[in-house]
Structure 1
Amino acid sequence: MSDDFILDTDDLGRRMDGAMANLRTEFASLRTGRASASMLEPIQVEAYGQMTPINQVGTVNVPEPRMVTVNVWDKGLVNKVEKAIRESGLGINPQMNGTIIMLPIPELNEERRRELTKVAGDYAERARVAVRNVRRDGMDQIKRAKDQMSEDDQKLWETEVQEMTDKYIKMVDESLETKQAEIMQV
């Protein structure tokens, strides 16, 4: 047996980092009662014959803690942008002022806060699943290379992959706790 198997832990780490980055993006799109430009990121507008992110058809600003504005560059797209925001499911009622669309952020009621914490929990669970899938890929690589290493080396690699997984799962759980506290804060 030759001990020339090397598991690419950097690749596994990058993939787990990707799951965390995706989780942060999803958390940023959740409304917490405070205005945030990132809450509009998932919204797509039908512009020039294709779906376009809202930040590519106008400037998104947060002039006040409870107000987001979208300054649409093309007058012809103002109604489409307004319609996309209305249909986005954010629960915000846009107000038009020429090419500027104002989005007053209402206070969240208790029921809506609880719904948002459940949504945050779902996002976190998806991130945990993604991390576990990366773990499974790493473990599969180790099993496939079983002939190339000793049992001790195999256990060592498996332990390393498991420790990495545990670290990222803990990060997901901590992010979820922080986000849920932020949502429930009145």
Structure 2
Amino acid sequence: MGGSQSAFTEQELDDYQTLTYLTKKEILHVYKRFFTLAPQAVNQDKNTKLGISDIQKLPELKVNPFRERICKVFSSSGDGDMTFEDFLDMMSVFSDQAPKNVKVEYAFRIYDFDEDDYISAGDLKEVIDKLTGDQKLSEEDMQQLIDNIFMEADLDDDELLSFAEFEHVISKAPDFINSFRIRL
């Protein structure tokens, strides 16, 4: 690889630092992690796009039930494949330095499976299925849980969670920030 320092000009590092919540040292560390996912491809072209299967080799994503949605949300092409800049954006949002409002915005996008700018019953079902894994809920229990979520969070009773409603509910969950991070 030659040192990761040589992968970027000082201007590129300055630009990345301005556009992310990361320090130059952290940006170089993120590049090193990106490189290790597909060394040959990145060695040939640091601006290469890695496939979703390469990105999901990241240990933190490998065990995350939302790994595919996370990749798609941060992918500039929307298919889960990522350039280094896409990867850097993802790592920046999941860093400890990213503000809570940014994390909430991306969490909303990740949970909005049908990408209609609302979290519907169908989206909640997908979220719950991902969280329960092999321990699937019965249809009755699933519906009860969705009804309870809407009762608590759906302030306008339209059976959809807008971003504002989602943000309101997340503001009551102090542990949210801790669950929405990747250690650099």
Fold shared per TM-score above 0.5:
no
Q: Give the TM-score normalised by structure 2.
A: 0.29
Q: Give the TM-score normalised by structure 1.
A: 0.28
Structure of greater Rg? 1
Q: Which has the higher contact order (CA 8 A, sep 6+)?
A: 1
Q: Which has the higher strand share?
A: 1
